[in-house]
Amino acid sequence: MPIQRFALQIPADFRLAGVATSHGWYALAPYAWEPDSGILHRVEALLSGTVTHLRISQQGGELAVGSSQPLSEFDRRELERRLRWCLRLDEDLSEFHDLCASHRTLYDAVLPSGGRLLRCPTLFEDVVKVILTTNTTWTQTKAMAARLVATLGPHVPGDPSQRAFPSPEAVAAAGEDVFKQNIRLGYRNASVLRITRDVVEGKLDFEALKESGLPTHELRRRLLTLPGVGPYSAATLLMILGRYDELGIDTELKAHVSRKYFNGGPVSEKQMRAVYEHWGRWRYLAYWFDPQ
DNA sequence: GTCCAGGTCGCGC
DNA sequence: GCGCGACATGGA
């Protein structure tokens, strides 16, 4: 019997508002965050072909997921799997929490999310989005993601304004012209298309990579082979995969370290690494939540 | 018009 | 290894 609503069990310390806004992903289509009501929106296309607009909210000790379309039991299970991944419901960050306990300001910064950084259901989507953040402004990143989804994403029945992230097949089928004319990722068009084609041709299996359990350095090596993915993007994607030992060094991190630890003076990469070195396998999170 | 943004790549030294 | 310019796009 189809349902349009189900609950998701969450850890006692889980706060949807904190997790949803823990980094910028909530502002990239097909995610949307409504701060006033505390609803995380997402349009999702399921294996069954169902495309549905989800409204995720916290109701006390659980999450309520509302779906615009009827869901089979199979759909529901698929959605539950995806959402648990996106919200990191099953990730154990207790060791990081323990380390934070002795740093009052960091502890306060981590508290709302518990250190859970929102991610996308598929690594494919995260890879594309990370590429959309490089060498551009956040405003343009949002616009690029919105155009990609609006142009190629499958939509909710009867509502073309509600679209899911496009499948690799849909992206590959679109080809250069649509990217050049409509989606306009600039020079990133080529990287995204090349990666997508490799996925469609089976040369690249991101979902297998997620579950591979490969050592971090090997994951990093593989991510670096992707066109458009350099050290910064690789570190960000490792974070997506729950590997926090490496810092994503970009202008933001540099500015932060300079301001907070070097009086605004010049900072070398070595010095940036040194600041967070002692956080070991939690370095990325220690930086991410480092106040001020 | 010019500059450049939460980088990456290929080149030359 | 390290420094440097090019790279598409659109906002300031």
The span from the CA of A185 to the CA of A148, in Å, is 9
Q: Are A78 and A34 within one domain?
A: yes
> What is each CA distance from A101 to A23, A104, A243, A261, in whole angstroms?
22, 7, 21, 21
Mean pLDDT of A165-179: 97
The domain in which residue A8 lies consists of 4-91
Task: Show the tokens assigned to A32.
Answer: 């949307």
* CATH number of the CATH domain containing A17: 3.30.310.20
Whether A236 contacts A266, CB under 8 Å: no
- Cβ of residue A137 lies below 7 Å from strand C: yes
Q: Tell me, in Å, how far CA of A185 is from C1' of C1?
A: 32
Q: Are A8 and A86 within one domain?
A: yes
In a domain, A83, yes or no: yes
> What is each CA distance from A31 to A27, A85, A112, A153, A181, in whole angstroms?
6, 15, 19, 13, 24
Q: Is the backbone of residue A214 left (phi > 0), alpha (psi -120 to 50) or beta?
A: beta
pLDDT higher than 90, residue A1: no
- Cβ of residue A170 lies below 7 Å from strand C: no
Q: What is the pLDDT of residue A48?
A: 98
- Cβ of residue A146 lies below 7 Å from strand C: no
In a domain, A109, yes or no: no
Q: What is the pLDDT of residue A151?
A: 98
Q: Are A192 and A279 within one domain?
A: no
Q: Are A255 and A236 within one domain?
A: no
In a domain, A115, yes or no: no
Strand, helix or coil for residue A87 = coil
- Listed as ranges, the nucleotides of chain C within 7 A of a protein C-beta are 7-12
pLDDT above 70 coverage of chain A, percent: 100
Q: Are A80 and A50 within one domain?
A: yes
Q: Are A231 and A276 within one domain?
A: no
- Cβ of residue A140 lies below 7 Å from strand C: yes
pLDDT (tens digit per residue) in A251-277: 999 999 999 999 999 899 999 999 999
Task: Show the tokens assigned to A156.
Answer: 């909710």
* CATH number of the CATH domain containing A204: 1.10.340.30
Q: Are A236 and A185 within one domain?
A: yes
The span from the CA of A89 to the CA of A110, in Å, is 16
In a domain, A168, yes or no: yes
Q: Tell me, in Å, how far CA of A143 is from C1' of B9?
A: 25
Q: Which residue is nearest to nucleotide B4 (CA to C1')?
A: A136
Q: Tell me, in Å, how far CA of A13 is from C1' of B8?
A: 39
- Cβ of residue A143 lies below 7 Å from strand C: yes
pLDDT (tens digit per residue) in A223-232: 999 999 999 9
Q: Which of A91, A115, A131 is the last residue of a domain?
A: A91
Q: Are A70 and A137 within one domain?
A: no
Q: Tell me, in Å, how far CA of A193 is from C1' of C10?
A: 21
In a domain, A182, yes or no: yes
Q: Are A169 and A255 within one domain?
A: no
In a domain, A116, yes or no: no
Strand, helix or coil for residue A85 = helix
- Listed as ranges, the nucleotides of chain B within 7 A of a protein C-beta are 5-9
Q: Tell me, in Å, how far CA of A224 is from C1' of C7?
A: 19
The span from the CA of A237 to the CA of A126, in Å, is 7
- Cβ of residue A184 lies below 7 Å from strand C: yes
In a domain, A113, yes or no: no
The mean predicted confidence, pLDDT, of chain A is: 97
Q: Are A140 and A84 within one domain?
A: no
pLDDT (tens digit per residue) in A213-250: 999 999 999 999 999 999 999 999 999 999 999 999 99
Q: Are A229 and A277 within one domain?
A: no
Question: Which position has the token pair 């259901």?
Answer: A121
Q: Are A204 and A266 within one domain?
A: no
Q: What is the DSSP string of A230-277?
A: -HHHHHHHHHHTT--SS---SHHHHHHHHHHHSTT----HHHHHHHHG
The span from the CA of A205 to the CA of A45, in Å, is 19
- Cβ of residue A135 lies below 7 Å from strand C: yes
pLDDT higher than 90, residue A34: yes
Q: What is the pLDDT of residue A60?
A: 86
Model pTM above 0.95: yes
Q: How many domains does chain A have?
A: 3
Residues of A 70-129 whose CB lies less than 7 Å from any atom of strand C: none
User: How would you classify the pairing of strands A155-156 and A3-9?
Assistant: unpaired
| Dihedral (CA of A236, A240, A243, A244) sign | positive
In a domain, A105, yes or no: no
